[in-house]
Chains A and B, each alone.
Chain A
Amino acid sequence: MPLFAQLYNFAHWLTQDRAAAEDLVQETYMKALRGFSSFQQGTNFRAWMYKILRNTFLTTQAGLKAGAYVSLDGDSDDDKPSEPADAETPETVLLARVELETIQNALEKLPVRFREIILLSDLEEMSYQEICETLGIPVGTVMSRLSRARKAMRELLAAKLRGASR
């Protein structure tokens, strides 16, 4: 099965639950197999698989909650870039003191739509074009959402570090 371990990792990151992640991956493969005829040769297979997984996730209980959160938080995605990160916290200094576990915790705390786009970009190293295929949003939105997500991530880390140093 192609992408098995990566898809599971991504599913577990999204669901934050082993059983839910297992069901999600299983359903993804079943849907992929059933809908393989709809996969167009020459297009991005990886983006196609992640798209199925992510769309399936959005129909689950946890996914619906995450989706509802998106629509209710009023933070619509427009093409405006986010504010530059707070210049007062030089990340080089900040990151030197950060452990992997802290980053994992921060990722878990991020809203799903921020978590997924960071994972697609940083973990899966997808190009903006692939992310836009996977999430079904325009490239401009990919860039602005990614920027917001990273800002939110840095803020979470900064808060964590401030809390720890106190």
Chain B
Amino acid sequence: MSCDLWRGKLDAYVDSDASQEELASLEAHLRTCPSCAAEALGSLQMKRMTQAAATARYSPSPHLRLRIEESIQPNRKPVWALPWMRLVVAAAALVLIVASVALWMRYSAREQTLAELLDLHVATMASANPVDVISTDRHTVKPWFQGKLPFTFNLPELQNSSFKLVGGRVMYLKHSAGAQLLFELRNHRLSVFIFQDQPAMIPLAMGATTIREMAFNLETWSEGGLRYVVVGDASAADIHELSELLRVAGRS
């Protein structure tokens, strides 16, 4: 084999990529051919020097590693996944739950109180003796409650209205005594409940002041430490008219 052909194999020799067979025959040739041996040595030297010249010729700046590590980090955790944020979210959720439970409880307490008042009114309508004091005169009815209730109230002047006082009685709501007054408007009978505005009555203060329930109209308000509820099967406008009369009387 001519030296030209051997030299074609020198690259594989210096790159350690020659087969065992090739390596053996090439080494045998190099031992006998000074020219090829010099060429091989030169190539080997060249490879070593290139390696020395190129190795770590350029080194990365310290910030590059940081920059890349930041850019290839798994996606940053969303804000809500941060430990302190989780606490905040949990606390907010708890507050929301407590608030809605409290709201719901108050709402159901209001419904319950309204239902009780409605029951009282309906029971009064069904009773043969709906009132304990029978009088159309407010100056008779109001004094009758003296000593029976821990508070007093004013009754409206009805002379120029279509309402007529029928009478009154003492009733109990949430373990406290209150006044139930019965009024007549044409064929309708309306109850007016008056009791002290205590914590048990708070649910009534929530929500609308005029309510329609089971075809009855209700109106409720608070004035001078007393809670008023007007209920009856009359129209909402009539209920409101009586309520206004009571409000005016309450203020005088």
Contact = CB atoms under 8 A, between A and B. Distances in A.
Nearest to B16: A127
Contacts of B12: 128, 143
Interface of B is mostly: helix
B58 A147 contact: no
Given A128-B15, A143-B11, A26 B67 contact: yes
Contact of B46 (A9, A13, A90, A95): A95
Interface string B54-83: 111111110011011101100000000000
A72 interface: no
B4 interface: yes
B58 A107 contact: no
B8 interface: yes
A47 to B, nearest CB: 15
A52 B148 CA distance: 96
Interface of A: 1, 4-5, 8-9, 12-13, 18, 21-22, 25-26, 29-30, 33, 81, 84-85, 87, 90-92, 94-95, 98, 100-101, 103-104, 107, 118-119, 121-123, 125, 127-128, 143, 146-147, 150, 153-154
23 contacts: A9-B54, A9-B55, A9-B57, A9-B58, A22-B61, A84-B4, A91-B42, A91-B43, A91-B46, A92-B38, A92-B41, A95-B42, A98-B49, A103-B50, A104-B53, A107-B53, A121-B15, A122-B54, A123-B51, A127-B17, A128-B12, A150-B11, A154-B46
A85 B43 CA distance: 10
B61 A95 contact: no
Nearest to A122: B50
A84 B58 contact: no
A90 B42 contact: yes
A118 B50 contact: yes
Given A8-B59, A104-B57, A26 B47 contact: no
Contacts, number: 116
A90 to B, nearest CB: 6
A100 B17 contact: no
Nearest to A125: B51
B12 to A, nearest CB: 7
B58 A21 contact: yes
Nearest to B69: A1
A123 B42 contact: no
Contact of B60 (A25, A92, A94, A101): A25
A8 B60 CA distance: 6
B186 to A, nearest CB: 84
Interface string B1-32: 00010011001100111000000000000000
Contacts of A100: 49, 52-53
Contacts of B60: 4-5, 8, 22, 25
Contacts of A128: 12, 15, 17
A100 B67 CA distance: 32
Given A22-B67, A128-B17, 7 more contacts: A21-B58, A30-B72, A95-B45, A122-B47, A122-B51, A123-B50, A127-B16
Contacts of A147: 8, 11
A45 B183 CA distance: 96
A13 B53 CA distance: 11
